[in-house]
Structure 1
Amino acid sequence: MTATTTSRPTGHPGYSETLPREPESAAIARRLVRAACTAWALEAVADDAALVVSELVANAVQHARRESIRVVVERTGLRTVRVAVADFSRARPVARAVGEGDEDGRGLALVEELAVGWGADERRWGKVVWAELQAAG
């Protein structure tokens, strides 16, 4: 499977890419997010948005079905970026309590910490998990 990047001519400015559902796709998603933030002069949120999209991709890789996921980056406001990962599973993400010695399970807590809001929208075919980040100023 090859990755494709598209930008939308109408609506909120955005970029999207269909990626294989594998751990290596997180790096491609981070590059897409950083490129979008740079294009919109929102470098102040680029690192946090890249970290958030990595966590969302990791969850989709671990819990979704089928062989692909879709990463979407939108500029929803003057200083606001929304990153989203669509997959073919209807199972909603659940933040869970983790212990000091746990090696995983902290992803959604990190998303909650960095984002001004996050959620999951059900679709007929699966779900879209999203997070919004806002630049200071």
Structure 2
Amino acid sequence: MRTVSPPDTWAYALRLPRDPRAARVARMTVRAALDGHGRSELRDGVELLTSELVGNAYRHTRGPCSLRLAALGDGRLRVGVWDSDPRVPGLFAEPSGGRVAPALPDAVGGRGLCLVQEYADSWGGLTPGDDPAGRGAGKLLWFEVGGRSVKWPTGEQDCV
């Protein structure tokens, strides 16, 4: 008799309060989950991109946000961040095809979406009408990594 092993899938969800420390808590959660599941090769980049999305949720909304990590079984990892603002940024409104211009060298912000387009394999956004989980308000921004050879920041400033 042959046995079939289920794919290596797992998921974590975390609700984060509207707090300036939320991005740090999200990074620690990502680190623990990836290390615990033997996916530490993804850790640095996923921490960076997760921190950007959670930081944007804190900066641009007045409510809490939620983080979800899911291993999809084919080597990919999907990270989603839900927040209470229904506006989907341009890059996420055009999944994996939209492009944002690099930030000016002296700009103090504006690099987060550029980082997503540079280092994620795919990305997208869902609004209440699109969301199969039926959250009813806000938006869900997500990205996936691990579907291609990992290309993480090397110190070069791709998004400047």
- Give me the TM-score of the superposition, normalised by structure 1: 0.83
How many aligned residue pairs are there?
Answer: 125
Matches within 5 A, 1:1-137: 12-66=9-63, 68-95=64-91, 96-97=100-101, 98-123=103-128, 124-134=136-146, 136=149
Per-residue displacement from partner, 1:40-98 (whole Å, max 9, x unpaired)?
211110111011100000111111232x1101111013321111110111011235432
Query: How far apart, in 1, do the equivalents of 2:10 and 2:42 lie?
Result: 16
Structure 1 gap ranges (5+): 1-11
- Give me the TM-score of the superposition, normalised by structure 2: 0.72
Structure 1 runs (4+) deviating above 6 angstroms are: none
- Structure number having the greater strand percentage: 1
Which residue identity lines up with residue 103 of structure 1 in the other structure?
V
Computed over aligned residues only, the root mean square deviation of the Cα atoms, in angstroms, reads 1.7
Tell me the secondary structure at the aligned position of residue 47 of structure 2: helix
Query: How far apart, in 2, do the equivalents of 1:125 and 1:101 lie?
Result: 35
Per-residue displacement from partner, 1:2-55 (whole Å, max 9, x unpaired)?
xxxxxxxxxx51111111122211111011111111222111101110111000
Query: How far apart, in 1, do the equivalents of 2:18 and 2:77 lie?
Result: 23
Tell me the secondary structure at the aligned position of residue 14 of structure 2: strand
Which residue identity lines up with residue 52 of structure 1 in the other structure?
L
Identity percentage of aligned residues: 34
Q: Which has the larger radius of gyration?
A: 2
User: What corresponds to 2:133 in structure 1?
Assistant: none
Query: How far apart, in 2, do the equivalents of 1:75 and 1:32 lie?
Result: 14
Query: How far apart, in 2, do the equivalents of 1:48 and 1:60 lie?
Result: 19
Structure 2 gap ranges (5+): 1-8, 92-99, 129-135, 151-160
Which residue identity lines up with residue 16 of structure 2 in the other structure?
L
